[in-house]
Amino acid sequence: MTDQTASLASFTSEIATKKLRKRHRAERRFQMYGIGAILFALAFLVFLFASIFSQGWTAFLQTSIKLPIDFSQEVINPSGNPDAEDEIFQANYVKLAREALYKELGVDPNDRKDRRAANELLSRGVDVQLRDMVLRDPSIIGSTEDVWLLASDNADALMKGSIDRKTPSERRQVSDEQIAWIDQMVDAGNMKKRFNTGLFVNGASSNPETAGLGVALIGSFFMMLTVVLLAVPLGVCAALYLEEYAPKGKIADTIEVNINNLAAVPSIVFGLLGLAVFINFFGLPRSASLVGGLVLTLMTLPTIIITTRAAIRAVPPSIREAALGVGASKMQLIGHHILPLSLPGILTGTIIGLVQALGETAPLLMIGMVAFVVDYPTTPLEPATGLPVQIYMWASSAERGFVERTAGATIVLLAFLVVMNSLAVYLRNRFERKW
């Protein structure tokens, strides 16, 4: 009896309570580690998004200068022949823009130094901007119109505050004189930041202010189209075979192991496959979005097969048995019951596969989609880039203006992914049936 009381007492003895407290502290510490881990991941995520948005949101605005441009006949079309397209195409539009700017700023056209300083405020892309206006509507030749012209990279950076006015002028890329002009035009309302439609429609350019995602968006669209047209039918058919027909045995096992391994092959290896097979062997053109689409198709195939199989497996056996019982053939069972019932799952899987494909970059680098493409591709066989490839190319450029563009393009890419993922979640919640 005494033994028992002694041991009971030992539970509340000083040593025991100390030990217990220590164990409880260890318990709390352990929990803290877990919370810490989740908070670390969360903090990193917030930091990542915050830094990209703070760098990138300004890319959606672009500084422009409103100038009254005199589309003079002498400069644009001296021969007076409206059909002389070469002449109109090669006219000196820069001169028109610069003269209007000198007038606006009160710069003496004979002062070379001032002239050059003023020229630096305008983007090098203004000639294309004016030329396109004239080509679109030749009737403006001879008239004077107010046009919003793109400001240069440096003027834009100053307006957005990424060039600090307080830096000593010898280390600043914008001179005091230029700042005074900018302020003058801003006060007059002739220079301001406007929504940057160029970011979405322009092609490649070596000037940050005229570079855009137009070609990349079209290229990505062609690639996604290829993936949808090829990967979805192939993936669904493969999943149907594996779930409904494949006899349990070596062939089915081989295919299954293959699909699982394929899902884990590094994406860059798919790029090597594309280069060696589609370009080198079949002779498809380099940089074409069709080749990109084919490579991405092979990459997304495992995702689509795996999700489709899960969706097919979720169809309850009672439905199968009922259909077979009333005399349906296997194909009728599939076509009339299994496919319609598993459609929401297939759609969700497809979107998840597309999300993967849209963000994939490495294989596209291998097949030469890192290209300087100015003109819109009209077919999937023409050279194009893709959204993530464009981000890569801009990220590797040296000019400061491209950092902002890169972050802006990243926001565009993330926006697409968010929309597609939300769609997948919506479809899953809206149409998923529990049996």
Partner 1 sequence: MSSLTILAILAIAGIVAFFIGRLRSIQVCDGHQQELHSRPSYYGYYLAILTALPAVVLLAVWSVAERPVTKYVAMQELPPTVLQGTDAEKALTMSVVDNIAEGLPKLDPEEYEVLRKARFGFVTSSDARDVLGKHGVVLGSDPDRSLLAAADELASARATSRLWLPIACFGLAALGFLWGYTRIRPELRSRNIVERVMRSGLFLASTVAVLTTVGIVLSVLFETIHFFQFVSPMDYFFGTVWDPRFATVGKAEGQFGLLPLLWGTLFISAVALLVAVPVGLFAAIYMSEYAGSKVRAFAKPVLEILAGIPTIVYGFFALSVFGPLLRDVGGNIGLDISASSVLTAGIVMGVMIIPFVSSLSDDIITAVPQSLREGSYGLGATQSETIKKVVLPAALPGIVGAVLLAASRAIGETMIVVLAAGIAANLTLNPLEPVTTITVKIVSQLTGDLEFNSPQTLVAFALGLTLFVITLGLNVYALYVVRKYREQYE
Q: Site residues for partner 1, window 322-361 (CB under 8 A)? A: 329-331, 355, 358-361
Question: In the complex with partner 1, which residue's Cβ is closer, 15 or 264?
Answer: 264
Contact status: 429 vs partner 1 (CB under 8 A)? no
Least separation, in Å, of the C-beta of 412 and partner 1? Answer: 11
Least separation, in Å, of the C-beta of 378 and partner 1? Answer: 15
Least separation, in Å, of the C-beta of 247 and partner 1? Answer: 11
Least separation, in Å, of the C-beta of 235 and partner 1? Answer: 8
Question: In the complex with partner 1, which residue's Cβ is closer, 16 or 135?
Answer: 16
Cβ atoms of 200 and 213 within 8 Å: the answer is yes
* Among positions 4, 33, 110, 317, the unique one binding partner 1 when judged by CB under 8 A: 33
Among positions 385-414, residues that touch partner 1 (CB under 8 A) are 388, 391-392, 395-396, 403, 406-407, 410, 413-414
Burial (0-12, 13-18, 19+ Cβ within 10 Å), 393: buried
Least separation, in Å, of the C-beta of 67 and partner 1? Answer: 34
Q: How far apart are CA 390 and CA 384, in angstroms?
A: 10
Question: In the complex with partner 1, which residue's Cβ is closer, 46 or 135?
Answer: 46
Contact status: 370 vs partner 1 (CB under 8 A)? yes
Contact status: 36 vs partner 1 (CB under 8 A)? yes
Structure tokens at 238: 């493969």
Cβ atoms of 387 and 413 within 8 Å: the answer is yes
Among positions 183-242, residues that touch partner 1 (CB under 8 A) are 233-235, 237-242
Structure tokens at 291: 């080749």
Structure tokens at 328: 């349906």
Sign of CA dihedral 61, 65, 69, 74: negative
Question: Which residue type, as a one-letter code, is found at position 107?
Answer: V
DSSP letter string over 306-358? Answer: HHHHHHHHTS-HHHHHHHHHTT--HHHHIIIIIHHHHHHHHHHHHHHHHHHHH
Write the binding mask 281 to 310 for partner 1: x where contact by CB under 8 A, - elsewhere.
xxx--------------x--xx--x-----
Give me the residue label for tokens 């959606």: 60
Least separation, in Å, of the C-beta of 252 and partner 1? Answer: 9
Question: Which residue type, as a one-letter code, is found at position 289?
Answer: S
Give me the residue label for tokens 């972050």: 407
Helix H or strand E segment including 66: strand 61-70
* Among positions 81, 144, 206, 261, the unique one binding partner 1 when judged by CB under 8 A: 261
Backbone phi, psi, residue 237, to 5°: -60, -45
- For 192, the 3-state DSSP assignment is strand
Question: In the complex with partner 1, which residue's Cβ is closer, 147 or 295?
Answer: 295
Among positions 47-66, residues that touch partner 1 (CB under 8 A) are 48, 51-52, 55
